[in-house]
Amino acid sequence: MTEMPKRADGSRATPLLSRHEALGGRMIDFGGWRMPVQYTSILEEHRAVRQRAGIFDLSHMGELFVEGSEAAAALAGALVTDPPSLEVGRAHYSMICAPDGGVIDDLIVYRLARDRFLVVANASNAPVVSDALAERLDGKRAILDDRSLATALVAVQGPAARGILGPLTDVDLSTLRYYAIAEGNVAGIPALVARTGYTGEDGFEVFVDGAAAGELWDILVGAGAPAGMLPVGLGARDTLRLEAGMPLYGNELDRATTPFEAGLGRVVKLAKAGDFVGRDALARAAKAGPRRLLVGLVVRGRGIGRHGYPVWAGDRRTGAVTSGTQSPTLGVPIAMAYVAPGDAAMGTMLEVEVRDTRAVSEVVPLPFYSRAR
């Protein structure tokens, strides 16, 4: 397996760096990685995913394989969800929390076999999650194999995604359900193919050995060109996930936030068998109720709410914006924000402080955008 080396400046580059540069990608440092923020324009790339398809390099994400006779039980003790309840070939959204209930990271957990799991962590948190899992699995009949630096991940997302990927793979995409994964080949390359994503559209994520990333990317780009597929950078990835109401670690989630405050209490399985790290604190948090709640806002006045902008209820500061943008799909400014529970009811009118003015904003349901089924 090919490991992704560090650059002279200490950052890492995915195996696709030369492809991004050849495509004119504007590169930035993101979570310790050199990544494209955009190629043409964020708006154009966003609309390509909503209307046709986009291709993403997600090779900066962490891929942590856990296997062994006690792998399922060990993960149940390490995470807030219940991995033993997953069927082979299925996945679920999860979190790893600190003993005080704060979120260390949000994750996707895939069950590849009875005694083998794949845990995907956010890029900036992958080393922390790897260390925490190693500590929590210690003494169990479970082995952690951190392949983050040897695994590439390429995603194809959008209405045309299945038509682009389908002819290239021996995985039957017509029967692969949402939040499911299968082992097979893509263009003859051994791969894990998952029907997951971070855009609100149908799509697929393809895990391959890092050495095969360039070949996979080139084949997918060529196959998607007739359908109008575009390469998509971090900028449009952020506007897409925000429209879909999906949290971003460091914005909506962090060590000071519990899953209940983020509206993700359903993820926490307090009734599952056995203990897990953070259980007592999360049980207390569930009983006491959240101190604040994550809400969606549509700005009805002038201005765009950005991360950290104050949110007011009259003369009282009720919270702050976590993420905000001008929605390319809806054509209005949208934001997510934490506010006091009493200000979180749908239809509540608040104000977002945008520089020296306050923009009237309405609390609306999340997500802002849902694709037609």
- At what angle are helices 71-78 and 126-137 packed, to 10 degrees? 120
pLDDT of residue 373: 75
- Looking at residue 28, its amino acid is I
What is the rounded distance in angstroms from the CA atom of residue 192 to the CA atom of residue 189? 10
What is the rounded distance in angstroms from the CA atom of residue 45 to the CA atom of residue 185? 27
DSSP state of 192: E
- At what angle are helices 42-51 and 234-243 packed, to 10 degrees? 50
Structure tokens at 283: 């049980």
Structure tokens at 264: 């993700």
pLDDT of residue 9: 78
**Which phi-psi region, left, alpha or beta, contains residue 341 (left: φ > 0; alpha: ψ -120 to 50)?**
alpha
Locate all alpha helices (DSSP H) within the chain, ordered by sequence.
17-22, 42-51, 71-78, 126-137, 161-165, 213-224, 234-243, 279-288
Structural domains in the chain, sorted by start: 12-58+149-243 (3.30.1360.120), 62-145 (3.30.70.1400), 292-373 (2.40.30.110)
Beta-strand ranges (E) seen in the chain are: 12-13, 26-30, 33-38, 54-57, 62-67, 91-97, 103-113, 116-121, 143-146, 151-157, 181-186, 189-194, 203-209, 230-231, 293-299, 310-313, 316-326, 333-339, 349-354, 357-364
SS3 state at 308: coil
Structure tokens at 77: 């003790």
pLDDT of residue 290: 97
Q: How far is CA 326 from CA 150, 158, 240, 261, 299, in A?
A: 37, 20, 11, 25, 9
The whole-model pTM stands at: 0.97
Q: What angle do CA 206, 4, 59 make, to 5 degrees?
A: 25
pLDDT of residue 150: 97
How many other CB atoms sit within 10 Å of the CB of residue 341?
14
Query: For residues 144 and 66, is the Cβ–Cβ distance under 8 A?
Result: yes
pLDDT of residue 4: 80
pLDDT of residue 3: 76
- Looking at residue 92, its amino acid is H
Cα-flanking dihedrals φ and ψ of residue 38, to 5°? -165, 160
ω before 367 within 30° of 0 (cis)? yes
Question: What are the 10-residue block averages of pLDDT along the chain, 373 residues in total?
Answer: 72 96 96 95 98 98 98 98 98 98 98 98 97 98 98 98 98 98 98 98 98 98 98 98 98 98 98 97 98 98 96 98 98 98 98 96 98 83
Structure tokens at 81: 């969800």
Q: How many CA atoms lie within 13 A of 102 on its CB side?
A: 9
Burial class (CB in 10 A: 0-12, 13-18, 19+), 91: buried
What is the rounded distance in angstroms from the CA atom of residue 362 to the CA atom of residue 364? 6
Distance of CA 165 to the CA centre of its chain: 21
